[in-house]
Structure 1
Amino acid sequence: MLERTTGRLVVRAVDPSTPALATQWRRLQERGGVGTPFLTWEWFSAFAESPTLGRHCVVLVVDGPGGQTVGVLPLEVGPDPQGLRVVRCAAAADLGADHLDVVAASRDREEVAAAAARYVTRVLRWDMADFEGLLQGGALDRALQRELRWPRCLSLPPEVEQVAVLDLRSEDARQRLARRSARGLKWVRRAGGGFSSVTDPARVGPALETLMDLHNERFGERSVVFSTPERRAFHLTAATRLAEAGMARVDRLSTADDDLALEYVLLHGERAYGYQSAFRPGAGHSPGRTVMCQSILAAAGEGRVEYDFLRGDEDYKADYATGSRPDVRLRALRPTPRAAGWLAGRLGRRLVRTLDRRRPGVTDD
């Protein structure tokens, strides 16, 4: 275990299986230290327990002067396909975790983030830092931007991604959702079905299994999120644990005999998050749109104030959005031989493309 004292705080890197970690994390979570479902213990513990997905996990535990834990930051530190040793937020890549920050009470968040960022840059060993899915303007975003600088590392330009959100307090938005789902809802009711929400933890898993099957049937090799048995197993575990805590459900649009479309929804505080969906092509009337609209209306009916579509450039997200909640990706390279080789290769490929474009008779497609 590596330990570093930063100001009045002590930062430790621990294995996710450390017995006290669950209690410490849950205590912070109960005190409002989590701002997104992707930082809950229910989500992270399912990820960390996966022998393949969580094999590179490490958790930074930040302790105050009296030894009490005031913050945590879950990370992955391991090799990427190009041979670089990369540090990133846990589950932020293919699993699409969004709006990430440190887990800490609001009064401690800035100090915890500063201590964790210093530990990342001055203690951990890595070639590339790739912090994807950070909440732009959050404590960790600001702290890392201060630390990921020369001469410790070479920072790449921040990449901001506008994440579409819908204000559920808007009467116009709710009426639009109702209009757009009216025909589809009428169709399934005539077929003896309707819209319903699966919230029972024992039933969320089977409903999610159906959703994953439909999703993979439609997208095939293009699908990433449910593409392997390990990822499917993770989602089943995470969804069940989140449902037990009232933070996940699967919404269904069904006939009397079959599910036509399903929406996997995460819930946290005043927000609902549309994580993934699936539908049977050619069945019913716009089942995918109908289940999404009804799912959003259900969240509004529960008193949620915002529906977050999460990252992704699908056209429908911009069509329904009333605003955005941006994420940012911060990347940096350490002056190591592996990082230098990666950068040289990248610059070399860019130079070749530039020369090809300038060659007489060559035009861009």
Structure 2
Amino acid sequence: MIHEAELSPTPSPARWLEVDTVWGLAKLAGLRGAWSDLLEESNAGPFNAWEWLYPWCRRIGADRKPFVMQAKDRTGALVGLMPLGFEYQWVLGRPIRRLAFLGETHVGSDYLDIVARRGREEEVARLFAEALWELRDEWDVLDLSDLREDSVTVRVLRETFGKYRADLRMSTRYVCPYESLPKGESFDGFLKRTSRRDNFLRRKKWLEKQEGYRIEKTEAPGALAGPLTDFFRLHSMRWESDGGSQGIRGSGVESFHRDATQLLAEKGRLRMYTMKVGGQAVASVYGILHRDSFIYFQSGYDPAWRNRSVGLVLVGETFKDAIESGLSEYDFLRGTESYKSDWTTQQRRTVSMRVLAPGGGGEWLVRREEAMKQVREVAKRVLPQDMVERVRRLRRRLSAVRG
């Protein structure tokens, strides 16, 4: 069992940083102001925001005990934090203590990382890495998922745990397509660089002739109820024939998004786009603003309008709005779906790091996961492809029912 006093404040002589920890949801709630200020002064990604991770803890990670490591300077100012949480997984009747990033499951949080003041990323990462090693008797598995491949944290943790000859395992996660939006380039100029220009213009022209066609952009916290309801309905309709969405499934995840979008909107970081024809919503995009980037998070559309390419047109309009807003990047996050490559020419990758504590029970968790993976692989080889797909759809539906 881990006790709050286990990690004593640890000074960093080079720059006089001190590390301590914040435990529990109530104390996490009190960090909002300092956390948000630090995020603005950092290069950390959008899903490291308090406005994302706090509702995740409330709605999805209720079984996790928040364990947020903080680095402070000699004045007490927050210089860095590492948002972690403890959970217990039972393997053969034995509790395995797993320490992982908050926000790691159910909601597609790419680019999880340490949040550190610009210019001090390496110093903060080394301080946290040493503190985690100091705590190695208190966890069995340290899982850090969906870090950017080029993150300073990845390099520092590899060096630190390598120095102690720890059992560290790296794995690739996702490819994230994105596109740079050069300053001064017009939307027409951008379109000429894509493979979708002609189809986009043709489909948009047809839609503009339809009665009641319009695109609504919602950013205000008090105006989200309708657009979110439309989004959930359209997202569900889009994935219904495939057994349900893997990205948004269950009432708990919907509750999380209602909380998170409200909090993000209060910070001016949310953009919901809804395409309507004849007063009916037919397509929706859920976007997040992060510094000078537009983050395409999720979308949905009415399958009855598939042949009219409403999804294509709405994505094009979000690019147009991003360019006209002066943003410099459009990020599709994880996934190599063809519609993303139609709009982008660049990619970045994410990785995960797993560390097994010496003498702990982490190896049992690894063995169980490997055994389950082998069972799935055998099933794929033995069962007909249509049966495999039916099993996948059934699992999605059962997961959605369980919420």
Place the TM-score, normalised by the shorter chain, in its bin.
0.7 to 0.9
Equivalent residue letter for 2:17:
L
**Using the alignment, how far apart are the partners of 2:327 and 2:373 within structure 1?**
47
Equivalent residue letter for 1:163:
C
**Using the alignment, how far apart are the partners of 2:82 and 2:47 within structure 1?**
12
Please name the residue that 1:265 is paired with.
287
Query: Does 2:116 align with 1:104?
Result: yes
Which sections of structure 1, spanning at least 5 residues, go unmatched? 357-361
Which string of whole-angstrom CA distances, capped at 9 and with x for unpartnered residues, describes residues 142-197 of structure 1? 22222333756311234253311012226653334553322332333222212231
Deviation of the 1:337 alpha carbon = 5.1
Please name the residue that 2:81 is paired with.
72
Query: Does 2:48 align with 1:28?
Result: no
Q: Is the 8 A contact 1:165 1:308 kept in 2?
A: yes
SS of the residue corresponding to residue 79 of structure 1 reads strand
Deviation of the 1:320 alpha carbon = 2.2
Which string of whole-angstrom CA distances, capped at 9 and with x for unpartnered residues, describes residues 279-311 of structure 1? 000226111111111112211110111100001
Deviation of the 1:53 alpha carbon = 4.5
Which string of whole-angstrom CA distances, capped at 9 and with x for unpartnered residues, describes residues 104-124 of structure 1? 211222211211222223216
Q: Is the 8 A contact 2:97 2:139 kept in 1?
A: yes
Which sections of structure 2, spanning at least 5 residues, go unmatched? 386-403
SS of the residue corresponding to residue 98 of structure 2 reads strand
**Using the alignment, how far apart are the partners of 2:77 and 2:269 within structure 1?**
27
Q: Is the 8 A contact 1:194 1:254 kept in 2?
A: yes
Please name the residue that 2:151 is paired with.
138
**Using the alignment, how far apart are the partners of 1:350 and 1:26 within structure 2?**
39
**Using the alignment, how far apart are the partners of 1:110 and 1:231 within structure 2?**
34
Deviation of the 1:237 alpha carbon = 1.1
TM-score, length of structure 1 as denominator length: 0.86
Map 1:38-187 onto structure 2 (within 5 A).
Answer: 38-50=47-59, 52-53=61-62, 55-80=64-89, 84-123=96-135, 125-149=138-162, 153-159=166-172, 161-169=174-182, 172-175=189-192, 176=194, 178-187=197-206
Equivalent residue letter for 1:128:
V
Deviation of the 1:210 alpha carbon = 1.8
Deviation of the 1:6 alpha carbon = 4.2
Map 1:208-247 onto structure 2 (within 5 A).
Answer: 208-220=228-240, 221-247=243-269
Please name the residue that 1:286 is paired with.
309
**Using the alignment, how far apart are the partners of 1:93 and 1:351 within structure 2?**
22
2:18 to 10, 13, 18: 10
Aligned length: 356
Deviation of the 1:27 alpha carbon = 2.7
Equivalent residue letter for 2:246:
V
Query: Does 2:259 align with 1:249?
Result: no
Equivalent residue letter for 1:198:
T
**Using the alignment, how far apart are the partners of 1:307 and 1:81 within structure 2?**
41
Please name the residue that 1:202 is paired with.
222
Deviation of the 1:341 alpha carbon = 2.2
Which string of whole-angstrom CA distances, capped at 9 and with x for unpartnered residues, describes residues 15-53 of structure 1? 3422652232133134x2253221222222322333744
Cα 1:258/1:349, change in 2 over 3 Å: closer
Please provide the CA RMSD for this pair: 2.9
Cα 1:149/1:216, change in 2 over 3 Å: farther
Q: Is the 8 A contact 2:168 2:355 kept in 1?
A: yes
Q: Is the 8 A contact 1:93 1:132 kept in 2?
A: no
Q: Is the 8 A contact 1:77 1:88 kept in 2?
A: yes
Cα 1:330/1:289, change in 2 over 3 Å: same
**Using the alignment, how far apart are the partners of 2:289 and 2:374 within structure 1?**
46
